[in-house]
Amino acid sequence: MEFFNDVGSDPLKPSLFELVAQEQLRDLLQPALKYVLSVFAQRYPRYLLRIVNRHEEFYAFIMFFVERHFLRTHGASFSENFYGLKRRRRPLIEPERARAAVGGVFREERLRNRDIRKSLVFLIGLPYLRAKAQDYYEELGGGIDPELLEGSEGARQTRALTEETLMGKMRRAFKAIYPWANVTFECWLLLYNILYLFDRTPFHRPWLAWTGIDIRRLGLDDLVSGSALIAGRSQIRRTLLQRIRRLVLTSPRLLLDALKVLLPTAIFFIKFLEWWFSPSSPARALSTSPLGPAVPPPKLLPPHPQSLIPVDRITKFGMCPLCEQPIANATALPSGYVFCYRCAYGHIEQHHSCPVTLLPAQMWQMRKVLV
C-alpha cells in the first residue's frame, strides 16, 4: 500500500484508493445508523418509529451539522479528515517555488463560506436526492416483475402507472428514464476516476471541478499550523474558571470531533454483532437453545402407488426426479419434494398436482429453495 501512496511526482496528491476508501466510509454511516435506529425502534416504537420511517431526512439533518463542523474546523469532510485529507481552493497556478520559500498554508487556499456551502450541497444534498429517487423508483415497482405484485399494494402501484392523467404519465416516464439516468451517472463518475488515475484531471469528481476545490493530503505545514492553533488555545486556558467556561462553550465541538473515532468504531461493532448472531457464526455452534433441541423437519410424504416416477429416481440426492438431471433452480412443492423449476412449472401447469404424491398443487404454492 505504501507504493500506491507515493504514485506521481506530487506527494500531497492522494491516490485513487484513498479517495475511494473515504467515500466507502461515508456510505457506510447511513446504513449503520439506520440499523441501530431500527433495533431501538423495536423497543421504543412510540419515539423512534417516525424517525426510522423518515431516515433519509433525519440522516441528512444530522450530517449537515457534522460535515459543516469538519469543513469549518478542519477544511475537510468527516471521512476525508479521518483518512488525513483536506480540501483546498485550487489556485490557477501552483506556487511551488513560493511555497518552498515561504512555507506554511496559504490563506488563499483555505475554504471560504461560499466554498463550504457548495461542498455541503454535494456532500448532503446530492446523496439525499439520489436516495429519494431510488426509493420512489422502488415504490413504483421498478426492477420487480409485475406478476409478483399481488395484493392491495401491487394493485395500487399498477393503477398509479396506468392512470391517463398527467401524474400517471410522469410516473411512467420516471420509471422508464431513471435506470438509464442512474447508469449514465455512474459511468460519468467512473470516467472521472479513470481520468484521475492517469493524471488527466486533478479532480476525481465532476462537482469538485465546478467548485474549484481539490482534495489533498495533510502535509507538514498543515500539522504545524494545527499544532500552533492548539498551543495558542492552551495559553488562553490559564485559570480554572476560564477552563470550565471554555469546556461548556466547546462541548458540542468536542463531541463532533470525537465522532472521528466513535463512528468507525460503532460501524465495526455493528458488523461484528451482525456476524456473531448470523446462522454461520460459531456462537450458534457453542450455544444451545433454552427451548430444547431443534424441531426436526417433517418427513416426506410417501409416493403415490399410481405415480409414474420410480422410487429409485426419487431417492437420488441432488437429482430432479422428472428430468433425471442435477437440480437447476431448486423449487419445492407442498408435498416436500424438490424439482427443477422448469420441470415443476411444466408439470403443475399440465396436471395441477405433485408428480410423486399426486397431491393437488398450484403455481403460487411453489417455493424457491435457497442452497
Q: How far is residue 206's CA from residue 18's CA, in Å, rounded to a whole number?
A: 17
Q: What pLDDT was estimated at residue 6?
A: 47
Helix, strand, coil % in the chain, rounded to nearest 5: 65, 5, 30
Q: Compute the average pLDDT of residues 4-29.
A: 78
pLDDT exceeds cutoff 50 at 178: yes
Q: How far is residue 150's CA from residue 251's CA, in Å, rounded to a whole number?
A: 53
Q: What pLDDT was estimated at residue 194?
A: 92
Pairing assessment for the beta strands 85-89 and 213-217 based on DSSP bridges: antiparallel
pLDDT exceeds cutoff 60 at 100: no
Give pLDDT tens digits for 215-260. 888 877 666 665 555 555 555 555 555 665 665 555 566 666 666 6
pLDDT exceeds cutoff 80 at 51: yes
pLDDT exceeds cutoff 60 at 265: yes
- What percentage of the chain exceeds 70 in pLDDT? 68
In terms of C-beta distances under 8 Å and separation of at least 24 residues, what long-range contacts does 13-18 make, across chains too? 13/202, 13/216, 13/217, 14/83, 14/85, 14/215, 14/216, 14/217, 16/193, 16/196, 16/197, 16/204, 18/83, 18/85, 18/217
Q: What pLDDT was estimated at residue 369?
A: 81
Confidence band, pLDDT 50/70/90 cuts, at residue 135: confident
Q: Where are the domains of the chain?
A: 2-236, 311-368
Q: What pLDDT was estimated at residue 121?
A: 92
pLDDT exceeds cutoff 50 at 3: no
The domain at 311-368 falls in which architecture? 2-Layer Sandwich (3.30)
- What percentage of the chain exceeds 90 in pLDDT? 10
